[in-house]
Amino acid sequence: MLSVRDLSVGFRLPGRELVAVDRISFDVEQGESFVIIGESGSGKSLTGMSIAGLQPQTSFASGSIRFKDRELLNRPDAELRRIRGREIGLIYQDPLGSLNPVWPIGDQIAEALSAHGLASGKQAAMRAVALLERVRIPDPARVANAYPHEISGGMRQRAMIAMALAAGPSLLIADEPTTALDVTIKAQMLELLAELRRELSLTIILITHDMGVVAEVADRILVMYAGRIAEIGEADTVMRNPSHPYTAALMTSAMISEATPKHDLNAIIGGAPALGAFPQGCRFHPRCPGAQADCNVVEPKMGAHGAVQLACHHPIAWTGAARPLGITA
């Protein structure tokens, strides 16, 4: 369904260019749940927004993004507007900031329908209420007449899902859809996305740093660090036998169930490099406990390592049975 090749996205500043996403390539198959994970600033959200043609106006992009055999990168805005919503739906991580504060929820969903010529007037309003009911919002008629600030965070996120699905897209990009939700609402949201995926034959790209979310929904995982791909492979393989030291560090830091009052939570030493200050060689080497001399100077290339693809000079070699991670949401 989606093929990304050598995608780079950056920003032009006076006298220099800063590349935030650096020559990444991956495919997303029809019907799968494809999860992009990484720390804040890794480039995962910028990657997702670039697929939908929503990268910042101050940015530049190169490479290729092919969706159903059509090139999307650097296409005219009018063409991308026809594709967004109708074929590619988006769920943002901040529904309160993404919804129009002076329009009722139902009107905003109806606008998505009318913009693509699918319904108008009373018919659009009725379909908006039906969509709210479909995403399990109690009393959908009342919520359709409510303003974003008058409903809870969980309901706002469900309304965003309803809006994203209004025009019947085949690809759904969800950027941190469970951010700021409590554990119970988060579980309900993941269950709803899984149900919609099955019933509507959706393909989902989910962007997150929440390992509990990854363990719940992922078919395949792409791990990003400092604008590059560290590892990509089947979810069970990547989570149980991570081959890249950064992936292993992410998984270890997520093992909340193994923490005790007398032991600190596991953490990755140091911090991710700032944009424009990426180290030479492997970008993870300043934080990698297994870094060797070549890691400091030679950039690792993506290559096959067992059942995964990764960029690492010295990948982790696992022997014996897979290691259960004990991740808790």
- Residue 329 pLDDT exceeds 60: no
The pLDDT value recorded for residue 255 is: 61
Q: Token digits for 170?
A: 């085949």
- Residue 16 pLDDT exceeds 80: yes
The pLDDT value recorded for residue 187 is: 87
The rounded percent of the chain whose pLDDT value lies above 90 is 68
- Residue 296 pLDDT exceeds 90: yes
pLDDT tens figures, 37-66: 999 889 999 999 999 999 888 899 999 999
Coil, strand or helix: which one is 329?
A: coil
Q: Which residues of 114-135 are buried (b: 16+ CB within 10 A; e: fewer)?
A: ebbebbeeeebbebbbebbbbb
- Position 271, amino acid: G
The pLDDT value recorded for residue 260 is: 56
Task: For residues 275-291, give the mean pLDDT.
Answer: 93
Q: Which long-range contacts (CB under 8 A, 24 or more apart) does 273-282 make?
A: 273/226, 274/41, 275/18, 275/20, 275/41, 275/227, 276/16, 276/18, 278/226, 278/227, 282/311, 282/312, 282/313
DSSP state letters, 6-50:
EEEEEEEETTEEEEEEEEEEEEE-TT-EEEEE-STTSSHHHHHHH
Task: For residues 144-165, give the mean pLDDT.
Answer: 93
Q: Token digits for 159?
A: 């309304």
Distance CA 223, CA 234 (A): 11
- The arrangement of strands across the sheet holding 303-305 comes to 88-91, 171-175, 203-208, 33-37, 220-225, 228-234, 308-310, 303-305
- Residue 303 pLDDT exceeds 60: yes
Distance CA 328, CA 215 (A): 9
The rounded percent of the chain whose pLDDT value lies above 70 is 93
Rg of the chain's alpha carbons, rounded to an integer? 21
The chain-wide mean pLDDT, for the chain, equals: 89
List the one residue out of 52, 72, 29, 85 whose CA is nearest residue 201.
Answer: 29
At residue 11's C-alpha, the angle toward residues 6 and 14, to 5°, is 135
- Residue 139 pLDDT exceeds 90: yes
- Residue 290 pLDDT exceeds 80: yes
pLDDT tens figures, 204-238: 999 998 888 888 889 999 999 999 999 999 999 99
pLDDT tens figures, 238-277: 998 999 999 999 888 766 545 456 666 677 888 899 998 9
- Residue 328 pLDDT exceeds 70: no
**pTM of the model as a whole:** 0.90
- Position 92, amino acid: Y
- Position 102, amino acid: V
Distance CA 244, CA 263 (A): 25
